[in-house]
Amino acid sequence: MTYKRKLSFIFFLFLICFFNGESMQAANDDGNLGQEIQRILEQSPGLAGALTGISIRSAETGEMIYERGSQTRLRPASNLKLLTAAAALETLGEDHTFQTELYIKGVQVGQVLQGNVYLKGKGDPTLLEKDFDELAASLKQRQVKFVHGDLIGDDSWYDDVRYSQDLVWGDEQEYYGAAVSALTASPNEDYDTGTIIVELAPGEKAGKRATVKLEPETDHVKVINKTKTVSADANNKIEIERSHGTQVITVTGTIPEDAGVTKEWISVEDPTEYALSLFEKSMKKHGIKVLGKRKKGKTPVGADMIATHQSMPLSQLLIPFMKLSNNSHAEVLVKEMGKEAEGEGSWKDGLKVARNQLKSMGLDMQTIMMRDGSGISQVNMIPANEITKLLYAIQEKTWFPAYLNALPIAGNENRMVGGTLRKRMKGTLAAGNVRAKTGTISGTSSLSGYVTTKRGEKIIFSIILNNFVEEKGITAIQDKIAVMLAEQENLLGSGH
State the burial class of residue 258 (Cβ atoms within 10 Å of its Cβ: 0-12, 13-18, 19+).
Answer: exposed
Contact, 187 vs 218, CB < 8 A?
no
Please list the helix, strand and coil fractions of the chain in percent, rounded to the nearest 5, in that order.
35, 25, 40
The confidence band for 490, taking pLDDT boundaries of 50, 70 and 90, is: confident
Start-to-end CA span in the chain (Å): 37
pLDDT of amino acid 313: 98
Among 181, 325, 445, 446, which one carries the catalytic annotation? 325
Please check the confidence at residue 180 and state whether its pLDDT lies above 50: yes
What pLDDT is attached to residue 25?
A: 43
Confidence of residue 493 (pLDDT cuts 50, 70, 90): low
**Which stretches does DSSP call E strand in 383-466?**
435-441, 444-452, 458-466
- What is the percentage of the chain residues whose pLDDT exceeds 70? 93
Q: How many CA atoms, within 13 angstroms, populate the side-chain half-sphere of residue 96?
A: 21
pLDDT in tens, 268-290: 999 999 999 999 999 999 999 99
The CATH classification number of 99-161+271-311 equals: 3.50.80.20
Q: What is the pLDDT of residues 29-66, one digit of tens each?
A: 336 899 999 999 999 999 999 999 999 999 999 999 99
Q: What is the pLDDT of residue 491?
A: 77
DSSP letter, residue 26: -
**325 assigned to active site:** yes
pLDDT tens, residue by residue, 426-475:
999 999 999 999 999 999 999 999 999 999 999 999 999 999 999 999 99
State whether residue 179 is helix, strand or coil.
Answer: coil
CB 153 within 8 A of CB 275: yes
Are 180 and 267 spatial neighbours (Cβ–Cβ below 8 Å)? no
Q: Where are the domains of the chain?
A: 23-95+315-486, 99-161+271-311, 195-267
Check: CB of residue 397 under 8 Å from CB of residue 105: no
How far is Cα 343 from Cα 347, in angstroms, rounded to an integer?
A: 12
Question: According to the model, what pLDDT value does residue 72 have?
Answer: 98
Give the amino acid at 294. Answer: R
Determine the Cα–Cα distance for residues 33 and 66; give it in Å rounded to an integer. Answer: 8
- Asked whether the predicted pLDDT for residue 231 surpasses 70, the reply is yes
Query: How high is the mean pLDDT of the chain?
Result: 93
CA 376 to CA 166: how far, in whole Å?
8
Among 90-94, 408-412, 471-475, 479-483, the range scoring the smallest mean pLDDT is: 471-475
Domains 23-95+315-486 and 99-161+271-311 alike in fold = no
Of 81, 228, 281, 323, the catalytic one is: 81
Q: Which fold has domain 23-95+315-486?
A: Beta-lactamase (3.40.710)
Instruction: Give 43: exposed, middle or buried? Use CB within 10 Å, 0-12, 13-18, 19+.
Output: exposed
pLDDT at residue 320 is higher than 50: yes
Provide φ and ψ at 443, rounded to 5°: 75, 10
pTM of the model: 0.92
Residue 472, φ and ψ in degrees, nearest 5: -60, 125
What is the pLDDT at residue 18? 39
Query: For residue 225, what pLDDT band results from cuts at 50, 70 and 90?
Result: very high
Sign of the C-alpha dihedral computed for residues 300, 302, 308 and 311 taken in this order:
positive
In the set 78, 186, 267, 328, the catalytic residue is: 78
